[in-house]
Structure 1
Amino acid sequence: MQIKECKGIELEKEKSNTSEDFFNRSEVTFIDNGEEKTLHVLYVRYFDEFLQELTPFKQDPILVQNENEIFFRDIVALCCLIKNPGLRSRKRLYINSKNEFASYFQDINFEKLPEVFRALKEKKGFELHSPLEFILQPQ
């Protein structure tokens, strides 16, 4: 599977009676069996406050590479896809439970993330041979 893009968006109210400003959307675009797909993950923005609990990162942006800032919301969909490869067949995922949200970050090897974003910037893609490459293995 080839990862083409990872990005996150803080949603804003489009109408005064909507609640979009309580949510973030994270997207990962990838090529799976020759077909380009995008997984959209909508989650409660409040979960961003647990960044330090869920990841080794201390603040947002979580990474800065050559003036390119990568925020927590940029990695959410990628982590979901890594933890649950079955999501390749889905277009959307909605997460409103903190426990479910946290489960997608458990045992992720965050040290490999800079490699993904470097390849996305320089090569316009990252080849993900196996999600297991990003899962910490028991010692």
Structure 2
Amino acid sequence: MEIIQCSGYELEKEKSNTSEDFFNRSEITYIDDGVEKTLHVLYVRYFDEIFTEFTPFQQDPVFSAGENPVYFKEIVALVCLLKNPSLRQRKRVYVNDQQEFAAYFKNVNVEKIADVFQALKQNQSYKLRSPLEFILQPN
């Protein structure tokens, strides 16, 4: 699998009676068996406010790829896909449960996540050999 883009953004209200402004969307675009796919992860914006409770990150942006800041919402879809490779069969995922959301980040090697963004900046892609490379193994 080759990762070609990771992005994230806050949804904005399109109509006054909708609730889009309570959600963020994170997206990862990748090539799997020669087919370009995008996974969209929609999640409650509140999770961006409390991510320090269940990740090692202490601020947003969470790290930098060169001079480019990388924000929490940009890594969410990547982390979800790494922790649950079966999501390659899906186009959209909705997460509104805090425990489920936090579970995606449990035992994730954040240094490897930073490597992905550095490769995307330098090479416009990252070749993923195995999602297990991103999971911290218990001692």
Task: Indicate whether the TM-score tops 0.5.
Answer: yes
Whole-Å separation in 2 of the counterparts to 1:65 and 1:79 = 17
In the alignment, which residue of structure 1 is the partner of 2:2? Answer: 2
- List runs of 5+ in structure 1 lacking aligned partners: none
- List runs of 5+ in structure 2 lacking aligned partners: none
State the AA in 2 paired with 1:52: T
**Residue identity (%):** 64
State the AA in 2 paired with 1:72: F
State the AA in 2 paired with 1:25: R
In the alignment, which residue of structure 2 is the partner of 1:135? Answer: 135
In the alignment, which residue of structure 2 is the partner of 1:100? Answer: 100
In the alignment, which residue of structure 1 is the partner of 2:31? Answer: 31
Whole-Å separation in 1 of the counterparts to 2:68 and 2:102 = 26
Q: Do 2:65 and 2:121's aligned partners in 1 also have CA atoms closer than 8 Å?
A: no
In the alignment, which residue of structure 2 is the partner of 1:41? Answer: 41
Aligned residues: 139
SS in 1 for 2:76: helix
Whole-Å separation in 1 of the counterparts to 2:113 and 2:57 = 12
Deviation at 1:128, TM superposition (A): 0.6
1:19 lines up with 2:22 in the alignment? no
Deviation at 1:49, TM superposition (A): 1.7
Deviation at 1:67, TM superposition (A): 2.4
SS in 1 for 2:43: strand
Structure 1: which 4+ aligned runs deviate by more than 3 Å? none
Deviation at 1:63, TM superposition (A): 1.1
SS in 1 for 2:119: helix
